[in-house]
């Protein structure tokens, strides 16, 4: 560590113009998938081989162990029926119901990335959402897809805060409505200045909200989960959230993303 490196360019043939030469260098730290830039990380996904985002390696399928169920009561259950995903389901209970599976968050700086398949259905009314959340054990802040009351297929990307798991909070940011339910979300924090919430679109992450580090909560865990916000039992809303990709790192990028 700390050794100086010398780089030499050797040409062949006849150089007839003055070339522009650019040299880039990276260094890595051993992590869940090997020595790559971006700090120590753990990466899991629904298939073997290189990762969804082009990383060299991943550590295997999304794990079913190591999760803490928050606000499930006696209903907590996590499974991987076909070893391709883990998932949760939320049924109607005539109130706001925020439920999550959570893992320990790395100390700042940190990042977490999830890919979710979110499906919602109802008879009429209400809103349902699937999210990547940060939590301090009581409060929640997250980025996710929210299905609108006017149409079950119409959804938008939002950043949501909730002071507890039983009271609907507010949206800090709302994106353009769309019709997709297979979405990738990321949260990162440099530990001193900015916490950034973003989603994957057209080959890169798009920032939906950038806020000060420590805003609203000082998180100890990150979660995948969601909510139903409907006070009418007859509307019979339900939502399922499948986690297909998971990456967490002690850096603002996870395996280079």
- Angstrom distance (rounded) from CA 68 to CA 76: 9
> Is residue 7 one of the residues assigned to a domain?
no
pLDDT at 209: 97
- Please state the three-class secondary structure of the chain as a single string: CCCCCCCCCCCCCCCCCCCCCCCCCCCCEEECCEEECCCCEEEEECCCCCCCCCCCCCCCCCCCCCCEEECCHHHCCCECCCCCCEEEEEECCCCCEEEEEEEECCCCCEEEEEEEEEEEECCCCCEEEEEEEEECCCCEEEEEEEECCCCCCCEEEEEEEECECCECCEEEEECCCECCCEEEEEEEECCCCEEEEEEEECCEEEEEEEEECCCCCCCCEEEEEEEEECCCHHHCCEEEEEEEEEEEECCCCCCCC
**Range(s) of the domain holding residue 153:** 29-249
Task: Tell me the pLDDT tens digit for each residue of 70-126.
Answer: 887 655 567 666 666 778 888 776 677 788 999 999 999 999 999 998 887 765 667
pLDDT at 160: 93
pLDDT at 83: 61
How many other C-beta atoms are found inside a 10 Å radius of the C-beta of residue 175?
A: 18
pLDDT at 21: 47
Place of tokens 């999830």: 114
pLDDT band at 133 (very low <50, low <70, confident <90, very high): very high
> Is residue 55 one of the residues assigned to a domain?
yes
- Angstrom distance (rounded) from CA 223 to CA 72: 13
Q: Which two tokens stand for residue 36?
A: 């790559």
For residue 50, list its beta bridge partners: none
Bigger pLDDT: 12 vs 42:
42
pLDDT at 127: 79
Task: Tell me the pLDDT tens digit for each residue of 151-182.
Answer: 545 678 899 999 998 888 899 998 877 756 78
Residues shown for the chain = 257
Residues 6+ apart with CB under 8 A from 178: 154, 155, 156, 157
> Is residue 182 one of the residues assigned to a domain?
yes
pLDDT at 12: 58
Bigger pLDDT: 141 vs 27:
141
Closest CA to 226 of 242, 211, 249, 208: 242
Bigger pLDDT: 101 vs 49:
101
> Is residue 88 one of the residues assigned to a domain?
yes
pLDDT mean over 35-41? 57
pLDDT at 22: 41
pLDDT at 20: 46
> Is residue 10 one of the residues assigned to a domain?
no
pLDDT at 102: 93
Q: Taking the model in full, what pTM does it have?
A: 0.79
> Is residue 37 one of the residues assigned to a domain?
yes
Strands 97-104 and 221-229: antiparallel
pLDDT at 128: 84
pLDDT band at 28 (very low <50, low <70, confident <90, very high): very low
CATH of the domain at 217: 2.60.120.200
> Is residue 195 one of the residues assigned to a domain?
yes
Most confident region among 10-19, 44-53, 95-104, 191-200 by mean pLDDT: 191-200
> Is residue 34 one of the residues assigned to a domain?
yes
Closest CA to 58 of 245, 253, 252: 245
Looking at the 3D structure of the chain, how many domains does it have?
Answer: 1
Task: Tell me the pLDDT tens digit for each residue of 195-243.
Answer: 999 999 888 899 999 999 999 999 999 999 998 877 666 666 778 888 8
pLDDT at 212: 97
pLDDT at 153: 53
Residue 237 CB-half CA count within 13 A: 26
């Amino acid at each position: 560590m700390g050794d100086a490196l010398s780089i030499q360019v050797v040409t062949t043939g006849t150089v007839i113009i003055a070339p522009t030469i650019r040299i880039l260098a990276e260094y890595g730290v051993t992590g869940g998938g090997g020595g790559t830039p971006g700090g120590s990380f753990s990466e899991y996904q629904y298939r073997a081989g290189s990762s969804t985002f082009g990383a060299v390696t991943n550590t295997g399928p999304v794990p079913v162990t190591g999760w803490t169920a928050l606000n499930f009561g006696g209903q907590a259950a996590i499974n991987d029926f076909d070893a391709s995903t883990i998932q949760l389901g939320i049924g109607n209970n005539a109130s706001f119901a925020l439920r999550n599976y959570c893992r320990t968050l790395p100390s700042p700086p940190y990042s977490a990335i999830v890919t979710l398949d979110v499906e919602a259905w109802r008879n009429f009314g209400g809103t349902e959402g699937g999210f990547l959340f940060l939590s301090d054990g009581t409060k929640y802040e997250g980025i996710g897809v929210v299905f609108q009351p006017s149409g079950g297929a119409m959804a938008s990307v939002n950043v949501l805060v909730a002071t507890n798991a039983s009271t609907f909070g507010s949206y800090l940011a709302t994106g353009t409505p769309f019709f997709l339910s297979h979405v990738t979300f990321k949260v990162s924090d440099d530990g001193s200045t900015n916490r950034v919430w973003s989603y994957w679109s057209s080959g890169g992450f798009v920032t939906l909200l950038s806020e000060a580090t420590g805003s609203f909560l000082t998180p100890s865990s990150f979660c995948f989960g969601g909510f139903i916000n409907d006070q009418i039992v007859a509307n019979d809303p339900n939502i399922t959230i499948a986690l297909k990709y998971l990456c967490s790192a002690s850096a603002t990028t996870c395996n280079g993303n």
